[in-house]
Chain A
Amino acid sequence: DSGVTQTPKHLITATGQRVTLRCSPRSGDLSVYWYQQSLDQGLQFLIQYYNGEERAKGNILERFSAQQFPDLHSELNLSSLELGDSALYFCASSVERGGFTEAFFGQGTRLTVV
């Protein structure tokens, strides 16, 4: 158990809909990272938050957004969903502000868009 909790584990939704994925980081970790794993793109970095503020952005679509709350949990919002958004979404947490030296991921949320 990595200590990073993601909910839900599975999500099935229709095209055009909006979903929210939730991540609770390990106790004491201030950084949260979101990754998308799709068959064609592999594991791709989406976005990072540190102590409530956006720290870095990767290949995140404009239809996607994230935030980190005062209690440090984070949510990834995916809107106007398309079939191609079907993927495994991972959250990871780290105590550092910069430099990914900690290495623990949640179990992922498998999103299926139909």
Chain B
Amino acid sequence: AQKVTQAQTEISVVEKEDVTLDCVYETRDTTYYLFWYKQPPSGELVFLIRRNSFDEQNEISGRYSWNFQKSTSSFNFTITASQVVDSAVYFCALSEAGDDKIIFGKGTRLHILP
């Protein structure tokens, strides 16, 4: 069965600090996709990244970086030099190849304090 766990319910950091959001997933499939979404206070779901299970290369996009480790079933997200605009709820999600749904974690609410 698929499962995504985001153990951190809420995190607060001061602006310019680095912050890492944890994500642990469970799946029996060898082919799957992992996602991160951002949900700002306005409510929409903003797609950040998708990785497939065969690509363990870490990715960096500006201040965002993602660390995918199959050995620990983790797909962690780091924001470097955080900004107030990064304040949002962040969701990690999983989809198995051939399945027809995406399973979301409960989300981590991130507060960036000025």
Residues of A at under 8 Å CB distance from B?
Answer: 2, 31, 33, 42-45, 48, 50, 55-56, 58, 88, 90, 92, 98-101, 103-108, 110
Mask, B86-100, CB within 8 Å of A = 1, is 000001000111111
Q: How large is the interface on B (under 10, 10 to 19, 20 to 34, 35 or more residues)?
A: 20 to 34
Q: Is B16 an interface residue (CB 8 A)?
A: no
Give the chain B neighbours of A108 by CB distance below 8 A: 43-45
9 residue pairs bridging A and B, Cβ less than 8 Å apart:
A42-B105, A43-B91, A45-B103, A56-B101, A98-B100, A99-B33, A101-B33, A105-B37, A105-B45
Shortest Cβ gap from B6 to chain A (Å): 10
Assess A101 versus B50: contact at CB under 8 Å? Given A43-B91, A108-B43, A110-B43: yes
Residues of B at under 8 Å CB distance from A?
Answer: 33, 35, 37, 43-45, 47, 50, 52, 91, 95-107
Assess A88 versus B43: contact at CB under 8 Å? Given A43-B104, A103-B50: yes
